[in-house]
Amino acid sequence: MKFKGLLKNTVIIILFGIIFSKLAGYIYRLILSNLGPNDYGTFVLALSITLFLFIISKLGLDAGLQRYISFFDKTKRFGSIKKLVCYSYVIVIVSSVLTSLILFLLSPYLAVLFGNSDLLIALKILSPTIPFAALSYLTLSSLKALYLAKKAVLSQYIIERISLILITLIFVSISFTLKSALFAYTIASLVTLIVSFLFLYPPLRKIFSKSKNVGKLRNHQIIDMKEILNYSVPLMFAGVTYLIIRFIDVILIGFFLNAEQVGYYDVAVLGALTLFIIPEAILYLFTPKLSAAIASKDREKSAHLIKSSMKSIMMINSLLGIILIVGSSLLISLFLGNSFISASLPMSILAVGVLFRTYFMPYTSALSAMKNTKTVFKIDLISAIINIILNVILIQKFGLIGASIATSISYFSLGLLTNYYYKKMKI
């Protein structure tokens, strides 16, 4: 009974953290929108490029740490944990610093490529966030693996967001410019790394001290970094595929159009993506239960969980979706004023695709629970390719409307493909 109460308390904290992080993220973007469409667009474009390189630089080792630390901890292989953590940090420090340096050196060429002189300084200021963020993710994954989810949530979802907003407000109160917003973001990334490491240090020190008592590693305890990288690197590609779906339209708008159009479009994207908040919160509770039901081969319970979660998502999100689709111009005028009103029609178009995608998110969780991660990656990859091709064609012809149509179609493909592969599994 005590364990159930503790579990319930942890879940509530995690859900609060996720919802708080999403809402704080929108507040942060609302603050940045006061920079104006052009500077705001440059910020978003620079951040999108940086995020792509960040995902690559960590090589998926955050996921590898979370899986293998948990496994080694259960089997009391404390020496293996020490080796794994040390090797992973060294690899990611080297890869992320090199990636950061490459971005810094290539920033002049990227600025010319995108025809945006402000992008030069933006990329240089954001380049240090690559190692900061990569190491933060390793630290947060280690916390989760050691069953310190509350500390991970506090660091990643709450402290990170609060520090980002507060540091930004301090900087912009002195001088509300693109540079001040960029420096604030970089400093907030460093704060997140420091806080997460302070949370991880005490439990890690205990494990390291235990490893000394064990002595030399036995043969069955020697870790195979090749095996861990074989597990982690495919997840890195999955992360890149997701970022293509999320950011390729933004980057291509910056390439074919200009930073001002990026600013308008990002407002439209952020508005449409609010439709993911409720499904993500529901699925956070639903997925562990579904995994347990599938593991016990309880087909009836599995089907019931999927059906009930889909019903909840459809009921709540359909109402929210109609509000976004019909009232996009009113919502933008209310929160951002008329300067971003050009984002209203793209927001409505994107909301249609995102809404359709959310209906099938329980099927994605079901495929993952059945260890069909390759199928999930295949679905994401196909949708990402569709997204790239359509965006290249439609942005040049129809601008922001074309980008929103292309991305909305890719979300439809995600939903339809997920439905197709799930039905093939016949749960």
Q: Which residue has the higher pLDDT, 198 or 350?
A: 350
Domain residue spans of the chain: 10-223, 225-427
Is pLDDT of 2 > 80?
no
Cβ neighbourhood burial of 102 (10 Å; 0-12, 13-18, 19+): middle
Q: Which of 205-214, 234-243, 398-407 has the highest mean pLDDT?
A: 398-407
Give residue 349's pLDDT: 96
Is pLDDT of 426 > 70?
no
Q: For the residues 403-420, what does the mean pLDDT come to? A: 94
Average pLDDT, the chain: 81
Is pLDDT of 6 > 50?
no
Q: What is the DSSP string of 65-79?
A: HHHHHHHHHHTT-HH
Is pLDDT of 332 > 70?
yes
pLDDT, tens only, 194-224:
888 888 777 667 766 665 554 454 444 455 5
Residues constituting the chain: 427
Reported pTM: 0.75
Q: What are 341-346's contacts with CB under 8 Å, separation 24+?
A: 342/264, 342/400, 343/264, 343/265, 343/267, 343/268, 343/271, 343/400, 344/268, 345/400, 345/401, 345/404, 346/264, 346/265, 346/268, 346/400, 346/401, 346/403, 346/404
Give residue 7's pLDDT: 46
Give residue 34's pLDDT: 81
> For the chain, what percent of residues have pLDDT higher than 90?
29
Give residue 282's pLDDT: 77
CA distance 184 to 167: 6
Under DSSP, the state recorded for 339 is G
Q: Which residue has the higher pLDDT, 347 or 138?
A: 347
| 335: amino acid identity, one letter | F
pLDDT, tens only, 265-277:
988 988 898 898 8
What tokens appear for 39 in the block?
């500077």
**Whether 99 contacts 130, CB under 8 Å:** yes
Is pLDDT of 1 > 70?
no
